[in-house]
Chains A and B, each alone.
Chain A
Amino acid sequence: MTELEAVQLFKCLADKSRLQIVKSLVREDMYVELLSERLGLSASTVSFHLKKLSEIGAVTSYKTQYYTMYSLDKAAFNLSLLDIIQEESSEAALQAEREQAYRSKVLSSFLDEEGKLRTIPAQRKKRLIVLERIAEEFEEGRVYSEREVNLIIASFHDDFCTIRREMVDEGLLTRENGQYSKVITSPAD
C-alpha cells in the first residue's frame, strides 16, 4: 500500500458513520435502505458514504433482482497497521538528504578548516553529530588503549577527557578494563 493509499484509507475511515457502515458490511452484504434503517441515517447520506468507501476500494456492489447490494472488500483490510507503517517512506531519499545536509551544516559550524573542533556543542543533538565524526577515526574491531584514544581525540580538541567520556556515554565507544573499542552500528541505527 502506497503512502497516498494509506492516507486515503485512514481519512475515509476516520468518520464514525463510515466506520459503522463498514462494521455492518463485514457481517453481511446490505442494500442502502437496510443500512439506512439500521444506522439511523438517511438513504442519501448512506449513498454518500458508500460512494466514498467505493472510491478507496473498501466496498464493492452488485445487483440483485430488487436491490443493489454492497459488500466489504476484505482484501482492502488485510494489511495490519504495522505493515502500513513499515513500508519505506516515499520521502526516504529526501529525508536522508535533509539529514545529511543538517549534519554537514553542524560540522562546518563546529569544525575549522583544519578539521579541529572550535568548541564542544552545548546542544546534545549537535554534540552527537560531532562525536560521530570523531568516531569515524576509529577502526571497527580494533582495541585501543586509553592513550591511543586520547591522541585521536586530541587531534580534534584539547579536552579529550570530556569527549572520551561523552563518546562512551553515547554508546560510540565501549570501555572495558581500560581498553576501548568502537561500537559497531547496524544500518538501521
Chain B
Amino acid sequence: MDDLKAKLDTLHQASLDKSAQLMNEDRGDDAALEKIHGNMYDIARQILQAARKLHADDESAALAFLQQRLGGLVDTWEKARMGAVSRDDTIRIVQEQIKVDTMRDICEIVRGFAGGQDD
C-alpha cells in the first residue's frame, strides 16, 4: 500500500509540475485542464488514506474499498460526460473526459497492485 501511495504521489506531483510549466508557457487553459488531471490523483490519494484508516489491519479490504469508490466515480463522471454530449457542451465534454480517462488509468494502477497482493 505504501508503494501505491508513492505511485499516486509521484503522478500527482508530475501533474502539478506540468500544469506550472504550461502556465509559464502562457497556455493557461491547458494548465487548467492538466489541473483536472492532477486533481484525480489527489482524489485517489485521499480515498486511499481513508481506506487505510477504515481497514487498518486488512490490506485486501482497503484495496477493495478503494477500487469500489474509484469505480463509482468513473460511473458518475461518465454520466456527466454523456449529459454534456447531449447538450453539445464541448468544453464540459473535454473536462469530464479527462476525469473519466484519468480515473480509469488510476483504477488500472490499483488493479495492478491488487493483483500483486493476490500473488
Contacts and interface: CB of A to CB of B under 8 A. Distances in A.
A16 interface: yes
Interface in A37-63: 41, 44-45, 47-52
A41 B29 CA distance: 12
Contacts of A49: 29
Contacts of B11: none
20 contacts: A15-B27, A15-B29, A16-B25, A16-B26, A16-B27, A17-B27, A41-B30, A44-B97, A44-B98, A45-B30, A45-B33, A45-B94, A47-B90, A47-B93, A47-B94, A48-B29, A48-B90, A49-B29, A50-B90, A52-B29
A48 B27 contact: no
Contacts of B98: 44
B28 interface: yes
A51 to B, nearest CB: 4
B25, B29, B33, B98 — most chain A CB neighbours (10 Å): B29
Contacts of B33: 45, 48
Interface string B6-50: 000000000000000000011111100100000000000000000
Category for how many chain A residues contact B: 10 to 19
A68 to B, nearest CB: 12
B91 interface: yes
Main secondary structure of the interface of A (DSSP, over half): helix
Nearest to A46: B94
A4 interface: no
Contacts of B94: 44-45, 47-48
Contacts of B90: 47-48, 50-51
A94 interface: no
A106 B91 CA distance: 52
Contacts of A48: 29, 33, 90-91, 94
A15 B22 CA distance: 10
Given A18-B29, A51-B90, 8 more contacts: A14-B28, A15-B28, A15-B30, A17-B30, A44-B93, A45-B33, A50-B90, A51-B91
Contacts of A14: 26, 28
A38 B12 CA distance: 28
A52 B98 CA distance: 18
Nearest to B95: A48
A18 to B, nearest CB: 8
Contacts of A45: 30, 33, 94
Contacts of A52: 29, 91
A18 B29 CA distance: 9
Nearest to B101: A44
A47 B91 CA distance: 8
Nearest to A20: B27
